[in-house]
């Protein structure tokens, strides 16, 4: 069984058909790329996969379970986590707390336990701290655990967002332009990080990217979107040599 199975997904905003007949199958452990020109509907696909937009047509299956039309929080619990093109951190909280919020559903104590600081509060908080630091150390962010998230430099904010998403223990991680705004060196580091988290966390990744170098360097399979429709789909090398794709990217 495939990890993610999307069939005939489509969405309209008013009269505008933003995405149409979108099909996608991702196998367990794959690193999959979603590419396409600006406005092709890539982020819209992400928004549908994570329940931020309700698709007008089609079905989404995660691990064989129908998650179409579920609420965002439910979809996260089912196993999809994501990052955003325009970074969305909890800016007024520390780096550590950002990750601990990601760990929210993996650890449990009630509101009353927290208010009255029962022994369980201390035990669970300690375990959460340890786990959060463990995740942060993968990104080398553990030294900045006490820094306010909004005070981190841009590149580290992107990494923190990935760390937070990983903290929810997802089966599938969606990265929306993780290399946006990074210089070539940072992009290279990011490629290494993505490879590393794939190994460390055993997570399947779907990423949107403009940077062709990054895409061809790490993605095994690609889907190319153009004007809301799938232009080409398959193994990376095949897709990148597809005349249709070349035409769309380089013009006629």
Tell me which residues touch another protein (CB under 8 A). 43, 47, 50-53, 71-73, 76-77, 81-82, 84, 88-94, 96-97, 100-102, 104-105, 107-111, 113-117, 121, 124-125, 128-129, 146, 164-165, 167-168
Work out how close the CB of 137 gets to another protein at its nearest, in angstroms, rounded to a whole number: 15
Residue 101 or 230: the one with the smaller Cβ distance to another protein is 101
Residue 108 or 252: the one with the smaller Cβ distance to another protein is 108
Residue 87 or 239: the one with the smaller Cβ distance to another protein is 87
Alpha-carbon span 184 to 81, nearest angstrom: 26
Pairing of strands 172-176, 204-208: parallel
Alpha-carbon span 44 to 104, nearest angstrom: 27
Alpha-carbon span 45 to 198, nearest angstrom: 22
| Phi, psi at 225, each rounded to 5° | -105, 140
Residue 67 or 231: the one with the smaller Cβ distance to another protein is 67
Alpha-carbon span 248 to 37, nearest angstrom: 8
Residue 57 or 125: the one with the smaller Cβ distance to another protein is 125
Alpha-carbon span 195 to 245, nearest angstrom: 26
Work out how close the CB of 96 gets to another protein at its nearest, in angstroms, rounded to a whole number: 8
Q: E strands along 80-171, which residues?
A: 80-82
Work out how close the CB of 240 gets to another protein at its nearest, in angstroms, rounded to a whole number: 29
Work out how close the CB of 251 gets to another protein at its nearest, in angstroms, rounded to a whole number: 26
Tokens of 162: 């990935």
Polymer length in residues for the chain: 252
Work out how close the CB of 136 gets to another protein at its nearest, in angstroms, rounded to a whole number: 13
């Amino acid at each position: 069984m495939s990890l993610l199975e999307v069939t005939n997904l489509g969405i309209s905003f008013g009269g505008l058909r933003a995405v149409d007949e979108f099909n996608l199958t991702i196998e367990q452990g794959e690193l999959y790329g979603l590419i396409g020109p600006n406005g092709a509907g890539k982020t819209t696909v992400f928004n549908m996969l994570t329940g931020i937009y309700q698709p007008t047509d089609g079905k989404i299956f995660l691990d064989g379970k129908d998650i179409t039309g579920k609420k965002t929080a439910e979809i996260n619990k089912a196993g999809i986590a994501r990052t955003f093109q325009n970074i969305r951190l909890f800016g007024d909280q520390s780096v550590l707390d950002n990750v601990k919020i990601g760990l929210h559903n993996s650890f449990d104590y009630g509101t009353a336990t927290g208010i009255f600081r029962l022994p369980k509060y201390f035990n669970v908080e300690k375990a959460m701290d340890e786990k959060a630091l463990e995740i942060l150390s993968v990104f080398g962010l553990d030294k900045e655990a006490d820094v306010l998230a909004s005070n981190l430099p841009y590149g580290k904010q992107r990494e923190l967002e990935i760390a937070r998403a990983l903290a929810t223990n997802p089966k599938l991680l969606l990265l929306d332009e993780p290399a946006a705004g990074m210089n070539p060196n940072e992009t290279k580091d990011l490629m290494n990080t993505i490879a590393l988290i794939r190994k460390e966390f055993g997570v399947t990744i779907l990423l949107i990217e403009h940077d062709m170098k990054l895409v061809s360097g790490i993605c095994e399979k690609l889907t190319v979107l153009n004007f809301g429709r799938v232009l080409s789909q398959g193994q990376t090398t095949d897709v990148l040599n597809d005349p249709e794709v070349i035409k769309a990217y380089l013009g006629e």
